[in-house]
């Protein structure tokens, strides 16, 4: 695991959060308003590199190739 790569991932996540802020500002005309995004399904992430998976219960991480493990049910 490359720590620099991890840092980049964190930046990507922060950027996506600020995008949400901008979207809220556009929708409401107010800063800091968070748009309500309907959560249809839980977003699963790779435990190794924290990459959000493209599809539910993907067998392998498309970023690092780590085999995904899911608890039964
Ligand atoms: Zn991964």
Percent of the chain with pLDDT over 90: 19
Domain count, the chain: 2
Q: Are 33 and 55 part of one and the same domain?
A: no
* pLDDT tens-digit map of 11-42: 776 777 677 777 677 777 766 667 666 656 67
- Ligand 1 midpoint to CA 71 (Å): 18
CB 13 within 8 A of CB 51: no
- Give this prediction's pTM: 0.41
Which residue segment(s) compose the domain that 51 sits in?
A: 42-73
Ion ligand 1 — residues with CB under 5 Å? 46, 48-49, 51, 61, 63-64, 66
Q: What is the pLDDT of residue 55?
A: 86
> Computed from CA positions of residues 45, 61, 10, 23, in that sequence, does the dihedral angle turn out positive or negative?
negative
Which range is least confidently modeled, 5-9, 28-32, 49-53? 28-32
CB 53 within 8 A of CB 44: yes
Q: Are 22 and 47 part of one and the same domain?
A: no
């Amino acid at each position: 695991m490359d720590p620099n790569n991890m840092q980049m991932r964190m930046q990507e996540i922060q950027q996506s959060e600020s995008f949400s802020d901008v979207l809220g500002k556009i929708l409401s005309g107010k800063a800091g308003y968070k748009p309500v995004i309907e959560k249809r399904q839980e977003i699963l992430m790779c435990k190794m590199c924290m990459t959000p998976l493209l599809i539910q219960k993907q067998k392998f991480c498309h970023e690092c190739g780590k085999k995904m493990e899911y608890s039964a049910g």
